[in-house]
Amino acid sequence: MARHGTILVIDDEEIMREILDALLTREGYGVRLAASAQEGLDLARAVPFDAAIVDVMLPGMDGIAALDELKKLDEDLPVVMITAFASVENAIAAMKRGAFDYITKPFKNDEVLVVLRNAIERRRLVDENRALRQNLQAHSHRFGEIIGRSSRIRQVFDLIIQAAPSRTTILINGESGTGKELIARAVHTNSQRSDRPFITVNSGSLPPDLLESNLFGHVKGAFTGAVYPKKGLFELADKGTIFFDEIGNVPLETQSKLLRVIQEREFMRLGGVETIKVDVRIIAATNVDLRREMEEGRFREDLYYRLHVITVQLPALRERKDDIPLLVLHFLDKYGRENNKPGLELAPDALDLMMEYDWPGNVRELENVIERAVVLTSGPRIDMDLVPDHVRRTRAFQLPQFVLPPEGISFKEVITDFEKRLIESTLEAAGGVQKRAAELLRIKPTTLNEMIKRYDIRARRRRAGSTVAADEPATPAPDADEPDPALVRTEK
Ligand SMILES: Nc1ncnc2c1ncn2[C@@H]1O[C@H](COP(=O)(O)OP(=O)(O)OP(=O)(O)O)[C@@H](O)[C@H]1O
Ligand SMILES: [Mg+2]
């Protein structure tokens, strides 16, 4: 049966279908025949094929349109076009749209078989490659330089694997430090463009004129100072990838020129008249909500939709905290090597702190914290004291767990008791300074002061026996009632 694979043949001429059927079957291929594009597409939706042979001239939907549709169903399907000798141009157009090869009529049997063998061989390689990568990904916790095993980051890996091989524009959205540039590079490395340039454009840092002359280049004399002609970044990135960092910062006037490059893959140098064609893959990154920018008129709508073909949404680190231990290990290793300190480890309570922290600066912030600790540590074990203050201070607040006694409890009393204890703890954390305590609780100092008086709170005596700060009530209050431990229990 289908020893060598299954081939879809779409041709409206019965005699051609018969010839190909006989030839391919004899060679050990499985063959399915279709007399129209529509019939062929129905088959392709129902059965997976290893290759397709499609006549360019078909009644109704023509062969080129069929090719487009087949590719939508299966991006890697090798499609061989058959064309009358007179219409080689059509065949070339088809090649540009992703056909694997073409054969002109009348053809020799051998020619068909050789092309088909190559097609199927390529298909096999692509499949193997994909399986290999997916396998790698399932068994390791990294994808190139990108570390992570949380389901959120795995989804990102999958998207890269799927999107990298094509030329599709990709938009990467994520907070600062989530790894946008890292992802952009990974897309490039995993594409066929990997041995061509990857060029980063820092969209926001230049005034519009300079940005445009950087992007598109200029001819001699285009403006004062343009003594020599200059190639722009788009030309330098030809056959490679161009990465627009912070695309939201590109000024509106430059946005329209960008749109043209994305649509037509062509542009003119500043001051020039010649149209320059390039083959570039465009990746853009943003940490702002581009849709909002668009709605508020700061970003062109057409450009927005052009960029939004494939969007990679990078999760904030706090949304994938299960990756923190892995990232810590990775950075310990990286900076351990750099600083000649092998075999470093992080004390468990230091790791606890890092798990509790919110990481507004995401992976970059974590990386900096670990680098600092590695540089400062004198032994192989990194303890809590090397964790920066701001990371420590935000230990997550946890509400006590309430266990109701069977006879019930006075709501008012519990709330009052809770308020008292919260104020006491905060005063303690603020070193007894009421103004600071009020800041921590986000209330007005006068409000706090009133509550302190109302509840007759005094700063808890510290173990060291230090005296109460000057702005505390002078009169010592009777010992505050300890709350019933059956009622209030703080979960640790
Ligand atoms: N998943 C990850 N695994 C390993 N390293 C990471 C990961 N994500 C980010 N990093 C590291 O964190 C740092 C910041 O990453 P990157 O520059 O790609 O972020 P960004 O989103 O472009 O930030 P910004 O918005 O500030 O430009 C880099 O040093 C990068 O190597
Ligand atoms: Mg960046």
Ligand 1 atom closest to the Cα of residue 142 is 3
What's residue 476's pLDDT? 37
Q: Which ligand is nearest to the CA of 181?
A: 1
How many CB atoms are closer than 10 A to CB 220?
A: 12
Q: How far apart are CA 16 and CA 30, in angstroms?
A: 17
Which residue has its alpha carbon closest to ligand 1 atom 29? 364
Relative to beta strand 79-84, strand 51-55 is parallel
Our answer on whether the CB atom of 147 is closer than 6 Å to any ligand 1 atom is yes
Please enumerate in sequence order all residues whose Cβ is within 8 A of that of 453, keeping only pairs 6 or more positions apart, or say none: 473
What's residue 125's pLDDT? 78
Our answer on whether the CB atom of 178 is closer than 6 Å to any ligand 1 atom is yes
Our answer on whether the CB atom of 336 is closer than 6 Å to any ligand 1 atom is no
Please enumerate in sequence order all residues whose Cβ is within 8 A of that of 72, keeping only pairs 6 or more positions apart, or say none: none
Q: Which two tokens stand for residue 174?
A: 């994520």
What's residue 395's pLDDT? 55
How close is the Cα of 458 to the center of ligand 2, in Å? 49
Q: Are 203 and 246 in contact (CB under 8 A)?
A: yes
Which residue has its alpha carbon closest to ligand 1 atom 30? 179
458 phi/psi in degrees, rounded to 5: -125, 155
Q: Are 300 and 252 in contact (CB under 8 A)?
A: yes
HSE of 130 in the Cβ direction (CA atoms, 13 Å)?
16
Which of 141, 193, 118, 119 is CA-nearest to residue 163?
A: 193
313 phi/psi in degrees, rounded to 5: -100, 110
| Region label for 442, one of left (φ > 0), alpha (ψ between -120 and 50) or beta (otherwise) | left
Q: Which two tokens stand for residue 401?
A: 């767990």
To which residue do tokens 């266990």 refer?
403
Residue 476 preceded by cis peptide, ω within 30? no
Q: Which two tokens stand for residue 181?
A: 């540039």
To which residue do tokens 């310990």 refer?
332
Which of 212, 194, 290 is CA-nearest to residue 184?
A: 194
Q: How far apart are CA 447 and CA 368, in angstroms?
A: 39
Please enumerate in sequence order all residues whose Cβ is within 8 A of that of 256, keeping only pairs 6 or more positions apart, or say none: 300, 303
Q: Are 283 and 190 in contact (CB under 8 A)?
A: no
End-to-end CA distance of the chain, in Å? 66
Q: Which ligand is nearest to the CA of 174?
A: 1
Q: Could you give the angle at the alpha carbon of 470 between the alpha carbons of 469 and 472, nearest 5°?
A: 75
Our answer on whether the CB atom of 409 is closer than 6 Å to any ligand 1 atom is no
Q: What is the four-CA torsion angle of 457, 458, 462, 463, rounded to 10 degrees?
A: -80
Q: Please give the DSSP secondary-structure letter assigned to residue 397.
A: P
Q: Are 306 and 169 in contact (CB under 8 A)?
A: yes
What's residue 397's pLDDT? 63
Q: Which residues of the chain have pLDDT under 70?
A: 1-3, 85-86, 129-140, 394-401, 459-492
Alpha helices in 387-484 (DSSP H): 389-393, 411-429, 434-441, 445-455
Q: Which two tokens stand for residue 425?
A: 């703890």
How close is the Cα of 187 to the center of ligand 2, in Å? 15
How close is the Cα of 221 to the center of ligand 1, in Å? 40
Q: Which ligand is nearest to the CA of 328?
A: 1
What's residue 462's pLDDT? 43
Residues with CB under 5 A from ligand 2 (ion): 180-181
Which of 289, 280, 279 is CA-nearest to residue 311?
A: 289
What's residue 4's pLDDT? 77
